[in-house]
């Protein structure tokens, strides 16, 4: 058994699950290119509350500085209505939008890996549960101390699920839902 930071013992299966998730995250990070890592770092910087303060401060300083320069009779770098500032803000907004989209795309790949891992776990659990029900039914039939009876629900649950049928049903529901539109 492994233990966490507080020294509490964790069961082996929990530790194995934690290590599997950590390995998945490490592999995802290792597969990232330098550009992807740079984009993630820039996105993390932009996402901090302090960035908003820096942007607001820069805007105020730009406007106040240009206004004071103009009031002093000197030529302002960017006079009212501040066209250079507007261009800079627009370009920065475009840059941040693309930055966020690129970062989100990479995050979506990790989310897809998690979804696949979850689906594999659910399918494996379903198969194990079906096998356990089947074994319990067999034990009930073989045990002389337990009255033998037919349990249709247990028999149905003991059958291995047909994953293709379930997938087709889900796709049919998604295609017929009003949110999916014309079934692209």
Would 175 be classed as within a structural domain?
no
Global pTM value:
0.54
Residue 78: which residues within 8 A CB-CB, separation 6 or more?
62, 66, 84, 85
Would 135 be classed as within a structural domain?
yes
Q: How far apart, in whole angstroms, are the C-alpha atoms of residue 83 and residue 1?
A: 65
Domain containing 75 equals 34-164
The owner of tokens 């500032």 is: 85
Would 149 be classed as within a structural domain?
yes
Q: Are 91 and 118 in contact (CB under 8 A)?
A: no
Would 56 be classed as within a structural domain?
yes
Would 14 be classed as within a structural domain?
no
Q: How far apart, in whole angstroms, are the C-alpha atoms of residue 176 and residue 184?
A: 11
pLDDT digits (tens, 9 = 90+) for 10-39: 778 778 778 888 888 888 888 888 988 898
Q: Considering its fold, how many domains does the chain have in total?
A: 1
Would 45 be classed as within a structural domain?
yes
Cα–Cα distances (Å) from 141 to 137, 148, 151, in that order, read 6, 6, 11
pLDDT digits (tens, 9 = 90+) for 64-114: 988 888 888 888 788 888 899 999 999 999 999 999 998 888 888 888 888
């Amino acid at each position: 058994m492994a233990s966490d930071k507080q020294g509490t013992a964790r069961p082996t299966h929990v530790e194995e699950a934690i290590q599997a998730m950590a390995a998945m995250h490490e592999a995802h990070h290792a597969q990232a290119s330098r550009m992807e890592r740079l984009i993630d770092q820039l996105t993390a910087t932009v996402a901090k509350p302090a960035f908003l303060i820096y942007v607001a401060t820069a805007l105020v300083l730009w406007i106040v500085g240009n206004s004071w320069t103009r009031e002093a009779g000197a030529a302002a770098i960017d006079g009212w209505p501040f066209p250079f500032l507007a261009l800079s803000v627009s370009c920065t907004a475009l840059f941040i939008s693309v930055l966020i989209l690129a970062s989100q795309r990479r995050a979506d790949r990790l989310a897809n890996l998690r979804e696949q891992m979850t689906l594999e776990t659910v399918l494996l659990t379903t198969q194990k549960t079906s096998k356990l029900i089947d074994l319990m039914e067999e034990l009930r039939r073989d045990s002389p101390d337990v009255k033998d009876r037919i349990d249709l629900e247990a028999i149905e649950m003991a059958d291995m699920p047909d994953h293709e049928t379930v997938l087709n049903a889900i796709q049919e529901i998604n295609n017929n839902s009003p949110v999916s539109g014309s079934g692209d």
